[in-house]
Structure 1
Amino acid sequence: MTLALENIVKAFKKDVVLDGVSLSVGRGETLVLFGPSGAGKTVLLRLIAGVIEPDAGTITIKGRDMEGVEPEDRGIGMAFQNFALFPHMDATENIAAPLTARNMNKTAITETVGKIARMLKIDHVLHHKPKELSNGQKQRTALARALAGEPDILLLDDPLRNVDAKLRFEMRLELPRLLKDQNATVIYVTQDYKEAMALGDRIAVMNARGIEQTGTPEEIYLTPANIEIARLFGDPVINLLDVSPVQVEGGVCITLSGVPVNIDAGYSEMVGRDCIIGIRPEAIRFVEEGSAEAIPLTIEAETPLNEKTVTLGLTQNGREIMVSRPAGTPGPSQGTGYIVIDANHIHLFDRATGKRIVPVKTQAAGSQGVAP
């Protein structure tokens, strides 16, 4: 592993920000740290960079313990939220700073700076000082400087936060290509789940004091460890409904609007227990009245969202359910509609702990039914 953290603890006075965090990142991998403000993402980056020291635990880079190693000796490039640009230098000089420090020839510097500036759409402000740049341009200049040095490890703290929506979308496509070309190990912080899904080879979902789940974007989305992670990923947000599974002939079912809905028989251990079922809006589709397992909904509202249409409906008990379907496909906009649920794409959570329940048949022998 290029980077490894083991049992990292960091507190500021009595406020414990990180409590026993362990993490490893391989060469050329992009790991996204995702989570709400205050989860400790930036603190974790600063610890890796050597700007602050952990209270306990070890940080190793290429097998070398970083205790006492100065930031400039760690082979790390950084782009933090506060920009940290040299005020007396124009954008070109700021971006070229790590190249100049290496005594690279001027022609190569000009080519490198120009290439990155064009990709980040700041080539028209290369001769401007930081005070003449917008926050978005400052952020992209700091990102360009970090990229220009081609470090072994690149720490990016929400580098697209101040970028407009159009450029942000373009950068989600372009930035992964550039990072792969450089073969750098990247730790990327964001609060935008779409950005995390687009940029990360893996995602580490953080909450207060630590990491709740690490996995590929697909693993995080399809098998969230708990309700909170399920809520964080997806637009529209996942439907969450209180249920109590019952045993029926041939399997297990839950009831919505008085209609029994079969779910995975592996949930048999949860029969009679208080649970929460999670249903992604895209795992629900409208059907004709009378279809098998059709659940009636009272349609409350319909919202077109370009590539999809989102419908809000109410069950007979007044519980809200959102349905997402591709734009242009049929569906009721008022009155009563009927839905069916793809049982292969539901989640069952323990109501007391919020943890996802793993159907018994998917578990290793001897393991428990609650996701770790």
Structure 2
Amino acid sequence: MTISLKNIEKSFKTDTVLDGVSLSVDTGETLVLFGPSGAGKTVLLRLIAGVIEPEAGEIWVNGVNMDGVEPEDRGIGMAFQNFALFPHMDAFANIASPLTARRQSKSVMRQTVDQVAKLLKIDHVLHHKPKELSNGQKQRTALARALAAQPSILLLDDPLRNVDAKLRFEMRLELPRLLKDQNATVIYVTQDYKEAMALGHRIAVMSNHGIQQIGTPEDIYLRPANIEIARLFGDPVINLLSVRPERGANGVVVNLSDTPIEMAAGFEATIGTDCVLGLRPEALHFVPEGTPGAIPVEVETETPLNEKTVTLALTARKREIMVSRPAGSPGPSRGRAYLLVDAGQALLFDRESGARIAPSTHNGLQEDVA
């Protein structure tokens, strides 16, 4: 089942929420809607589900225009943040409700409910009413109900929001497998960038009434469309430093700590212009003094964070740089040190617009940043 949105517009009174949103989702694909609160992610889901109607634009499901089609006739499974559980039913009956509506046998219902409840770690509360469940259990019950129905299209509105960190991590591993087994077409909303990158075949980053960028997790992380998106992905956040590229002996260079850093090929058009250099903390590496191209820094402090160690350093102009390295790997904790920049991962942004500057190829064309 495919989903296609064409120039969707939605407002509430004078507040524009969505302005000209278009996207498509292929059969069996999981598309993650990612963005800050208020970006319109939940509104977009409700439009697809038919709970609300757009002011303009078209919604197509498997080649059929949904204009005038009632929510119950769209064949879409939903799990929204408000749970929408039947208060008089226990968790088992809530999860089984779509199967009951289809008149499935009791054995099929029991097997299906037990399987999904065990996956979501709620098998011990199946005979509890919603009022006896925690918010996290209610949310997982609503998710279980949507999964048990095995719909061709599944809309999930931040379904792990109230789940504890351990279970959330487990679900990032288990949910993709379950969704693949069901071959469902999924639109998944989250504000957690790690969740977005773990679950999505593609990610649509939303802000300012629309979609700023759609791409694979790798595209979004390594080639963000602008500074705003670059900041949203990564922990610690990307280093952003004002620079003015110059012509060096072997191509374009930028200066850090009075040391020229060679950029990858294709940035000749930026020479002499005001830019912002973007460096992911893992694109910086501590090296011995005297290493060609290494920049001197002053290490202020380091913080162990389980699988990695994060170091705060200062350049010669007292600009802060965050450096990330695998836990247990050698690195200075204080004092003078030297960093080598992975030029292949260095990004340049236009200082005025914030847009990423794509390097030109050998034929003068720029790479696609959409």
TM-score (normalised: structure 1):
0.98
Mapping 1:101-250, distance limit 5 Å: 101-250=101-250
Q: Distance in 2 between matches of 1:2 and 1:294?
A: 50
Aligned-pair distance for 1:276? 0.2
Q: Distance in 2 between matches of 1:368 and 1:238?
A: 23
TM-score (normalised: structure 2):
0.98
Per the alignment, residue 96 of structure 2 pairs with 96
Q: Distance in 1 between matches of 2:264 and 2:217?
A: 24
Q: Distance in 1 between matches of 2:240 and 2:15?
A: 33
Per the alignment, residue 351 of structure 1 pairs with 351
Q: Distance in 2 between matches of 1:210 and 1:274?
A: 28
Q: Distance in 1 between matches of 2:367 and 2:349?
A: 10
What RMSD, in angstroms, separates the aligned Cα atoms of the two structures? 1.2
Aligned amino acid, residue 351 of structure 1: R
The yes-or-no answer on 1:84 pairing with 2:84 is yes
The yes-or-no answer on 1:55 pairing with 2:52 is no
Aligned-pair distance for 1:29? 0.5
What is the aligned length?
370
Per the alignment, residue 337 of structure 1 pairs with 337
Per the alignment, residue 306 of structure 1 pairs with 306
Deviation string for 1:176-231 (max 9, x for gaps)? 11000100100000000000000001100000200000011111111111111111
Aligned amino acid, residue 37 of structure 2: S
- Sequence identity (%): 71
Counterpart secondary structure, 1:177: helix
Aligned amino acid, residue 48 of structure 2: I
Q: Distance in 1 between matches of 2:113 and 2:130?
A: 16
Q: Distance in 2 between matches of 1:52 and 1:279?
A: 42
Q: Distance in 1 between matches of 2:40 and 2:342?
A: 37
Q: Distance in 1 between matches of 2:204 and 2:255?
A: 35
Aligned-pair distance for 1:294? 1.4
Aligned CA distance change for structure 1 residues 188 and 90 (closer, same or farther; 3 Å):
same
Q: Is contact 2:223–2:369 with CA below 8 Å preserved after alignment? A: no
Counterpart secondary structure, 1:187: strand
Aligned-pair distance for 1:368? 5.4
Structure 1: which 5+ runs fail to align?
Answer: none
Q: Distance in 1 between matches of 2:223 and 2:93?
A: 46
Aligned amino acid, residue 344 of structure 2: N
Aligned CA distance change for structure 1 residues 371 and 180 (closer, same or farther; 3 Å):
closer
Q: Is contact 2:361–2:367 with CA below 8 Å preserved after alignment? A: no
Per the alignment, residue 45 of structure 1 pairs with 45
Aligned-pair distance for 1:361? 1.5
Mapping 1:254-273, distance limit 5 Å: 254-273=254-273
Q: Distance in 2 between matches of 1:201 and 1:171?
A: 16
The yes-or-no answer on 1:288 pairing with 2:288 is yes
Deviation string for 1:28-78 (max 9, x for gaps)? 100000000000000000000000000000001011110110000000000
Q: Is contact 1:355–1:370 with CA below 8 Å preserved after alignment? A: no
The yes-or-no answer on 1:361 pairing with 2:327 is no
Structure 2: which 5+ runs fail to align?
Answer: none
Aligned amino acid, residue 15 of structure 2: D
Q: Distance in 1 between matches of 2:131 and 2:296?
A: 59
Counterpart secondary structure, 1:266: coil
Aligned CA distance change for structure 1 residues 290 and 233 (closer, same or farther; 3 Å):
same
Aligned-pair distance for 1:367? 4.5
Per the alignment, residue 315 of structure 1 pairs with 315
Q: Distance in 2 between matches of 1:18 and 1:258?
A: 46
Deviation string for 1:246-280 (max 9, x for gaps)? 01222110000011111123111000000000001
Q: Distance in 2 between matches of 1:208 and 1:39?
A: 7
Q: Is contact 2:157–2:188 with CA below 8 Å preserved after alignment? A: yes
Q: Distance in 1 between matches of 2:149 and 2:292?
A: 61
Aligned-pair distance for 1:370? 8.9
The yes-or-no answer on 1:73 pairing with 2:61 is no
Q: Distance in 1 between matches of 2:262 and 2:358?
A: 16
Per the alignment, residue 324 of structure 1 pairs with 324
Aligned CA distance change for structure 1 residues 268 and 366 (closer, same or farther; 3 Å):
closer
Aligned amino acid, residue 169 of structure 1: F
Deviation string for 1:347-368 (max 9, x for gaps)? 0000011111111117xx5645
Aligned-pair distance for 1:369? 7.7
Per the alignment, residue 13 of structure 1 pairs with 13
Aligned CA distance change for structure 1 residues 149 and 338 (closer, same or farther; 3 Å):
same
Q: Is contact 2:10–2:56 with CA below 8 Å preserved after alignment? A: yes
Q: Distance in 1 between matches of 2:249 and 2:162?
A: 56
Aligned-pair distance for 1:290? 1.2
